[in-house]
Amino acid sequence: MAALTEVDLGASSVRDLNQALHAPATESAASWRVLNPRGAHSVACGLKDEVTVDVEGHVGYYCAGMNQRATVTVHGNAGVGVAENMMSGAVRVRGDASQSAGATAHGGLLVIEGNAAARCGISMKGVDIVVGGNVGHMSAFMGQAGRLVVCGDAGDALGDSLYEARLYVKGKVKSLGADCVEKEMRDEHRVELAELLKAAEFDQDPADFRRYGSARRLYHFKVDNSTAY
C-alpha cells in the first residue's frame, strides 16, 4: 500500500508543494494530503502522474488546473477556475466552486458537490462536469465538446453560442443563450446520463432531467442572423 505524504501549507509554500507533486511518481509517494490550504492559489496544478491528492480545506484560484491523470479532491470550497484546462484525471470539490469551473477543459471528470457560480464549463472542449447544485449565468458558454450535468437550477443564458457540448439539467433554466435549445431526451441520452451520475457518485434519476444542445444556426456567419451574435 502506498505511503501517505502530508504537506502543511502553514509551514511550506505552494511552490514547494507543486514541485514535489511534479517529481516523478513513485510507489511511496502516490498519495498526498495537503493541510491548511487557507485559500491558497494554484494548489496541485499541472499534475501529470496517477497520484491522489486530498486538500483539507478551501482553495483559491486555479486549483488542479491543467490536470493530467491525477485525482484531486478539495474538502472545501474552490475559487475561480478550478480544473481549468484539465486534460484527464478527476477533480472533485466537496463544497461550492466559484466562476469558470472547468474552463477550457479537454477531458477528465470534474465533480462539484455544491453549487457552481457563473460560466461553469465555459469553452469546455471534452470534459465531463457534474454539479450537485446550481450553476450561474453563462454556463457552458461556447461549449465545444463534453457533457455538463446540473442537478439543480441553471442561471441566465445557459449554453450561449454552444457548439456540440451536451447539457443535462434537472431543475429550472432561467433562460437559454443564443442558439441553445431544448432537445429530445432519448434512451441513449438517459443511458449516458446514468453513467455520468454514477461516475460522480450522485443518486439521481436520469428521467428527471432535460437535455439541451446547439440549434446549429451560428456555426457560420449569416447576415440574416446578425442580431443573434
What's the DSSP call for residue 24?
P
Decide if pLDDT at 26 tops 70. Answer: no
Which is it for the CA torsion 173, 212, 181, 105, positive or negative?
positive
Classify residue 69: in a domain, yes or no.
yes
Cβ-contact 161, 139 below 8 angstroms: no
Number of domains in the chain: 1
Classify residue 81: in a domain, yes or no.
yes
Which is it for the CA torsion 76, 200, 111, 174, positive or negative?
negative
pLDDT in tens, 100-143: 999 999 999 999 999 999 999 999 999 999 999 999 999 999 99
What's the pLDDT score for residue 34? Answer: 98
Classify residue 12: in a domain, yes or no.
yes
What's the pLDDT score for residue 145? Answer: 97
pLDDT in tens, 74-92: 999 999 999 999 999 999 9
Classify residue 228: in a domain, yes or no.
no
Which is it for the CA torsion 201, 205, 210, 211, positive or negative?
positive
In the chain, the percentage of residues whose pLDDT exceeds 90 is: 89
Cβ-contact 86, 110 below 8 angstroms: yes
Classify residue 191: in a domain, yes or no.
yes
pLDDT in tens, 168-197: 999 999 999 999 999 999 999 999 999 999
CA distances from 91 to 23, 110, 115, 144, 156 (A): 20, 5, 15, 20, 26
pLDDT in tens, 189-205: 999 999 999 999 999 99
Classify residue 88: in a domain, yes or no.
yes
Mean per-residue pLDDT over the chain, rounded: 94
What's the pLDDT score for residue 218? Answer: 79
pTM: 0.94
Q: Distance (Å, rounded) from C-alpha 176 to C-alpha 27?
A: 48
The Cβ-side half-sphere exposure at 152, using a 13 Å CA radius, reads 17
Classify residue 221: in a domain, yes or no.
no
Classify residue 85: in a domain, yes or no.
yes
Residue 56: give the domain boundaries: 4-216
- The CATH number covering residue 63 comes to 2.160.20.60
